[in-house]
Amino acid sequence: MATRIDKKIVGYKVGETEQDGDASVAATPAAAEPKAEDNVVQLHEKLERPEMLIGSTYKVKTPLSEHALYVTINDIVLNHGTENELRRPFEIFINSKNMDHFQWIVALTRIISAVFRKGGDVTFLVEELRSVFDPRGGYFKKGGKYMPSLVAEIGDAIECHMRMIGLLKDDGLDEHQKKLVAEKRAQFEAASGSAAQAEDCGSEFPAGAQLCVKCHTKAAVKMDGCLTCLNCGESKCG
C-alpha cells in the first residue's frame, strides 16, 4: 500500500517485519553465550609470571671444566585442571662455580627464557643448540654419546626436559628394533668376547666401537663386513 507524503522529510527509520524481529530475538541468547575457546589461556610474552613454578634441574658434567653445570628449567601450567591443561617451559637458569663462561651463559639463558615466554613452537631450540660445535673439538659423555660443544650439552639437557613434559615425542626404537639390536649385540659379544672389556671401560658398548653417524654414539662395530650400530641399529648392510 502506497502512502503519500505531503510534508518535508526530517528523519527516517528502517522498520522490521515480525519475522525479522523474531529471528533477532532468537539469535540474541546464542550470541551472548561465551565460546569455550575464549576461556583457554595461551602462553604469550605478556602473561605474568606466577608466584610459584614447577621445574627440574639437570647436572651437566663435562671434561672441559672441573665444575659441573646445573641447568634448571621451570615450567608454567596453563589451564590447570581442564582438558586444555598444558605444561610449557617458561624460564631457564644455569649455575656453576666456574666463572669462565659466566658472561655468555647469562646471555644465553636470558635469550632462551625470552623465547620460552614468547609461546608457540620452541622445540627448534634443541636443534639450534645441538648443532653448535667447538673449534677445539668435542668430547664423549658417559654412555659414548658425542657432544660437539658445551652449548650442545645444554641443548641436550633441554631436549631431555621437553621429552619429559611431552613437548617432544620420544623417537626411540620400537620393540622390533630393540630386539634386532639386542640380537646383533649378542652375536658380536659371542664372536669377540668384548662384554668384559666394555664393563671394564665403564661404557655400555664394546671397547673400540666407532662413532655412529646417525645417533652420534660411540657404538658402531664391524659385523658381516660393515659397520652396525649397537645403539640405534643403523647398518650400512641395510
CB 54 within 8 A of CB 78: no
**H/E run at residue 186:** helix 175-192
Residue the block writes with cell 585442571: 81
Q: How does pLDDT run along the chain (238 residues), one tens digit per residue?
A: 667 777 777 777 776 665 555 555 455 554 455 555 567 888 888 889 999 999 999 999 988 888 999 999 999 999 888 888 889 999 999 999 988 889 999 999 999 999 999 988 999 999 999 999 999 888 888 877 889 999 999 999 999 999 999 998 876 666 766 676 677 677 766 666 654 444 444 457 777 777 787 777 877 887 777 788 877 777 767 6
Kindly give the interhelix angle for 150-164 and 102-118, rounded to the nearest 10 degrees: 30
| Measured distance CA(165)–CA(92) in Å, rounded | 15
Q: What's phi and psi for 26, nearest 5 deg?
A: -70, -30
